[in-house]
Structure 1
Amino acid sequence: MMTVVRILFAAGLSLALGVASLQAQEQELAAPLPLNELRTFAEVLDRIRSAYVEPVDDATLLENAIRGMLEGLDPHSAYLEPEAFQGLQDSTTGQFGGLGIEIGQEDGFIRVISPIDDTPAARAGIEAGDLIIKIDDQPVKGMSLVDAVNLMRGEAGSKVTLTLVRGTGSPFEVELTRAVIRVASVRSEELESGYAYLRITQFQNNTGDEVRRSLGSLNPNGELKGLVLDLRNNPGGVLQSAVEVADSFLDQGLIVYTQGRLSNAEMRFSATSNNPSRGVPLVVLINGGSASASEIVAGALQDHARAVIMGTDSFGKGSVQTVLPLNNDRALKLTTALYYTPNGRSIQAQGIVPDIHVERGRVTQEREEAGYREADLQRHLGNINGEERTTRQVQAERSERRQDTDYQLSQALNLLKGLNITRSRQ
């Protein structure tokens, strides 16, 4: 089983339920207290207080017990102390401190789930799936996830060295400088005439609005021939933002629904008629680092046949966490529901399976031999259309673009071009 946490607690708030209403329903579902187990708990507490090799105060023991209760439920439920609670809130506004990676615990080691774009981890070349075996020369085998996080976080500007293993390769070291990370959740650009690229790094509170603005600037007159929506290595975030992003590409129909034991945990989200994408052909890129809110968007667009999903299987986090503030600057992050795609698919521990499976790779181009084109020759005949392209012009057009080094993106762009060619010939 894998336990997942974002460095400096950057996992997104998935769903906010009414606390008062939730507490009322909790009381309705409350069962009689298990007296035998409570007696055992009291006995264990007393034995530790009297017999443990060093004195431990009652507050520490009780906080450890609370933490253990939450961690024993599932990988995503947690007891948030003040610093963790504040960090969780900071992450949804796009600013937090750390290295910029989401990590998980697997078989006693720490594995990278996803690096975040434009952060120290991403710039250092850390990749999803990398195994962290040492932090500043301290082996992580058997180390708790909390202890690993504490070692990796620190003051902005300070350095930390990670020893990693990638696949079956040899261990290698990466030195990173900690930073206050400000994440721009959406960025866009034109790949080439008529085709655009929209990247979402994580789902923050304002991501839906940013996507709508980007679509407006990319496709002001509805002439865009194709769009690539990149959700790779996007670990998720705010549920409402995922709904808003999916709604930007859909005219109607269900986007996602949730089911849990409490009635407040059963919610349905549907698309509105305000669709700024104007039906532009769409390819969505996903991979093993696409989780939670990313899977909601990909699943909705796949079920409605609105987009072609391309890449590799997503992470498979289909649960909803509710953050319940306590009265002492602490909070519970509790799994309260599972979410389902419009067709009723639960992707928990399964993930979104792409329509077209394309593994990660890098496009390499052989250098074209120096030579001449007809347009380079003196006294060449002109073109009746008035268009001529010399060797120098062709080479200038081949300057490196994003799709020239990203194989999955290149395949997505080629698919969009193919769709437009076949449609134009019908």
Structure 2
Amino acid sequence: MSKIPFNLLRNVRKSLFFGLIILLAISSIAYQQKDLFFRIKQSLEIFSEAFSLIVVEFVDKIDPLELMGTGLNAMFESLDPYTNYFDASSNEQAEILNRSNFSSIGIQVDIKENSAVVVRVIDGSPAQRSGIRTGDIILSIDGLSTETLVPEEIENLLMGEIGSKVTLTVETQNATIDQLRLSRAKFEPKSLGYAAYLNLSGQPVIELNMDTQELEYIDSSKTELNQGVAYLQINEFGLGVNTEFRQALQAMIEKSEPYGLILDLRGNPGGLLQESIQMLDFMVEPNITVAETKGRLDEYNTRYITREVPRYTGPLVVLIDQGSASASEILSGVVQDLDRGVVVGERSFGKGLVQIIKPLPYNNSMKFTISRYYIPSGRSIQSLEYTHDTNNTAFQRADDNVYKTKNGRVVHGGRGIEPDLQTNTELLSPFQLELLRLGLVGEFVQQLELPIAAIIDDELIQVMTKRFMDNFEPTRLQIWNKMITLTDSLDYFLNDKNVLNANTKESILQINDHITELANDYLIEKHGEIEMVLGLELIRFYRGNQAWKRASLAIDPAVISGIQLLNELQDYYSIVQ
């Protein structure tokens, strides 16, 4: 009997070994799947029995549908803020609102750290005119707390008939609490909010007419057309905005020679991811994976790869703030990871989770998270990682990993997008916003009744500012109003206890007089800020939102920072290289 060659025997043993490993792995996966389905079946049986017992035998009468909704919402709450259940009535109400003559106040809200945070304020909307800005927290709507509401429920509460009123309690970024009463209005926000060629002072020279989509000269005497930058504001990534972006930028390049491009994504809550990817295609070299979605199921895993030869290869500045979320964070994050440009502003919102809506029986539905976004460095933009403790309660888990950009710069995951250059992104100061929230500037402007052909120039603005200040009582401002309220409360308390003598009364009056003097001095110090906000509101009221945007650019600190960076390319390249 012949012997089997040793090498053959060794190969057979090796093949058998690896085959056994593969068989064990397949068996393990099959067992895990079988175990998972058994546990699902087991859980449903337990839930069904408990649910039936409560509905039938509980001491008080229970509505099964209400109990089911409560149970599902409590279950989903333990996962993340974006997984929600919508019953049939919610779905029907949303459909009615979408198809009827209903309107809103012009904000978009998302949930962050259990608060309803404003992530977008639409230009020209009632919300913007009343001084609401990104980062403010909506505490209640018509007296109903937002603490347990999801974004879709908040949106439905904000909607209503044109001209109807809604009362908001708002916590501003400087921790003041304001109650605002706003009128709902109908408006159609544009995805491409504004496009212009700016001179080095931030003044538009060529502007895209948003109605005709044609470029128009504003004032060709302000600068030569090779001494400025292209500026495009993307409000959201709606369908077709990529085409609008490309056409506007290409048209400006053909008419001028910009030093670079400023892409303004402040207050952009996201939208269609494919639109942002196609915009990257216009500016980034081909065959690069710019974004990925990763989930448990292969069907939810997607890679987004650039395909085109870039048409714009010049210097790029992207403006972001805490209202920049989702697709706008992906675009700015890709620019940062590839060292394609400089990101300027404030840290973004940090929403890197992907949701899907699926129908449930009887016209119910649910929205749940299926994957996370990742950008070229390998980091996730999600600012909150939700895991669970022993009580199955969601809590924050930080991403402490360090990632590297294409050129080796250090960036961090789990924090949204942190700007390369941090700067103030707010056009208006807290004082100016308070004037708007109190309705003082708006009321004054609307009562002027200026001729339609009136020229809104510096001279008119100065005259109107003096008139406004002459008729304005500064103790209406919150800081001084609180002081007056406290002294009045002291007066009332002492009088109620019969211990208010003449000397004490005189002292309280002197304190009030001193507060009034301080408030008047404060108002004089704020003369320049009043002149600025009053001038902008005069332009908005008599010339429209596009004229307001045109006037605001030269005093927008983030835009000026972007222009300075593109004008001093040595500083620009010191960041990206």
User: What's the TM-score once normalised by structure 1's chain length?
Assistant: 0.73
From 105, 123, 139, the counterpart of 1:117: 123
Q: Deviations over 1:4-48 (max 9, x none)?
A: xxxxxxxxxxxxxxxxxxxxxxx9996323455434423442354
* C-alpha distance in structure 2 between counterparts of 1:205 and 1:91, whole Å: 21
Mapped contact 1:363–1:405 kept (Cα < 8 A) = no
* C-alpha distance in structure 1 between counterparts of 2:563 and 2:35, whole Å: 52
1:141–1:83 CA distance, 2 compared to 1 (3 A): closer
From 177, 180, 190, the counterpart of 2:197: 190
- What are the ranges of 5 or more consecutive residues in structure 1 without an aligned counterpart? 1-26, 368-399
1:106–1:419 CA distance, 2 compared to 1 (3 A): closer
- What are the ranges of 5 or more consecutive residues in structure 2 without an aligned counterpart? 1-32, 200-224, 384-414, 430-457, 459-549
Amino acid at match of 1:42: S
Which residue number in structure 1 is paired with residue 234 of structure 2? 200
Is structure 2 residue 367 aligned with structure 1 residue 360? no
* C-alpha distance in structure 1 between counterparts of 2:382 and 2:139, whole Å: 28
1:259 partner SS: strand
Amino acid at match of 2:422: H
Is structure 2 residue 266 aligned with structure 1 residue 232? yes
Mapped contact 1:117–1:201 kept (Cα < 8 A) = no
Mapped contact 1:311–1:360 kept (Cα < 8 A) = yes
Structure of larger gyration radius: 2
Deviation of the 1:362 alpha carbon: 4.5
Deviation of the 1:232 alpha carbon: 0.8
2:348 partner SS: coil
Percentage of pairs with the same residue: 34
Deviation of the 1:338 alpha carbon: 1.0
1:181–1:309 CA distance, 2 compared to 1 (3 A): same
Is structure 2 residue 309 aligned with structure 1 residue 293? no
Amino acid at match of 1:211: F
Is structure 2 residue 567 aligned with structure 1 residue 417? yes
RMSD (CA atoms): 3.6
Which residue number in structure 2 is paired with residue 153 of structure 1? 159
Give 1 or 2: higher helix fraction: 2
From 58, 62, 81, the counterpart of 2:64: 58
1:33–1:118 CA distance, 2 compared to 1 (3 A): farther
Bigger shift: 215-224 or 261-270?
A: 215-224
Mapped contact 2:81–2:111 kept (Cα < 8 A) = no
From 299, 321, 332, the counterpart of 1:264: 299
Which residue number in structure 2 is paired with residue 14 of structure 1? none
Is structure 2 residue 384 aligned with structure 1 residue 337? no
* C-alpha distance in structure 1 between counterparts of 2:196 and 2:62, whole Å: 57
Mapped contact 2:565–2:572 kept (Cα < 8 A) = no
Mapped contact 2:94–2:156 kept (Cα < 8 A) = no
Deviation of the 1:81 alpha carbon: 4.8
From 55, 65, 89, the counterpart of 1:49: 55
Deviation of the 1:401 alpha carbon: 3.8
**Pairing 1:103-182 to 2, within 5 Å after superposition:** 103-105=109-111, 110-136=116-142, 138=143, 140=145, 142-145=147-150, 148-182=154-188
1:325–1:45 CA distance, 2 compared to 1 (3 A): closer
Deviation of the 1:109 alpha carbon: 5.2
From 338, 346, 351, the counterpart of 1:312: 346
Which residue number in structure 2 is paired with residue 404 of structure 1? 554
1:284 partner SS: strand
1:33 partner SS: helix
Deviation of the 1:83 alpha carbon: 7.5
* C-alpha distance in structure 2 between counterparts of 1:336 and 1:177, whole Å: 38
Which residue number in structure 2 is paired with residue 21 of structure 1? none
Mapped contact 2:102–2:162 kept (Cα < 8 A) = no
1:265–1:106 CA distance, 2 compared to 1 (3 A): closer
Deviation of the 1:270 alpha carbon: 1.3
Amino acid at match of 1:223: E
Higher RCO structure (Cα 8 Å, ≥6 apart):
1
1:317 partner SS: coil
Mapped contact 1:250–1:272 kept (Cα < 8 A) = no
* C-alpha distance in structure 2 between counterparts of 1:44 and 1:422, whole Å: 64
Deviation of the 1:256 alpha carbon: 0.8
Amino acid at match of 1:57: D
1:114 partner SS: strand
**Pairing 1:322-401 to 2, within 5 Å after superposition:** 322-326=356-360, 329-349=363-383, 350-362=415-427, 401=551
